[in-house]
Amino acid sequence: MRVDRFLSNLPRFNRKQVRLLLVEKRVRVDGTIVSDPHAEVLEFSRVEVDDEVLQLGKPARYFMLHKPPGCVSATRDPQHPTVLDLIHEPDKNDLHIAGRLDFNTTGLMLITNDGSWSRRLTQPQTKLPKVYYVETEQDITADYAITFAKGLYFAFEDLITQPAELVVLGAKSARLSIVEGRYHQVKRMFGHFDNKVLRLHRERMGPLLLDDALKPGEYRPLSVEEIRLI
Do you know the residue count of the chain? 230
- What's the alpha-carbon Rg for the chain, to the nearest Å? 22
Q: Annotated catalytic, 102?
A: yes
CA distance 222 to 63: 5
Determine which one of 102, 114, 158, 194 is catalytic. Answer: 102
Rama region for 202: left / alpha / beta (φ>0; ψ in -120 to 50; rest): beta
| Strand intervals (E) in the chain | 27-29, 32-33, 47-49, 52-55, 62-67, 96-98, 106-112, 130-136, 153-154, 159-160, 165-170, 173-178, 197-205, 208-209, 219-221
Interatomic CA distance for residues 203 and 99, integer angstroms = 13
State the alpha helices, DSSP H only, in 24-136. 115-122
Q: Which amino acid is at 113?
A: N
β partners of residue 109 = 65
For residue 38, how many C-alpha atoms fall within 13 Å in the half-sphere facing its CB? Answer: 0
Q: Are 84 and 95 in contact (CB under 8 A)?
A: yes
Task: Give catalytic residue positions.
Answer: 102
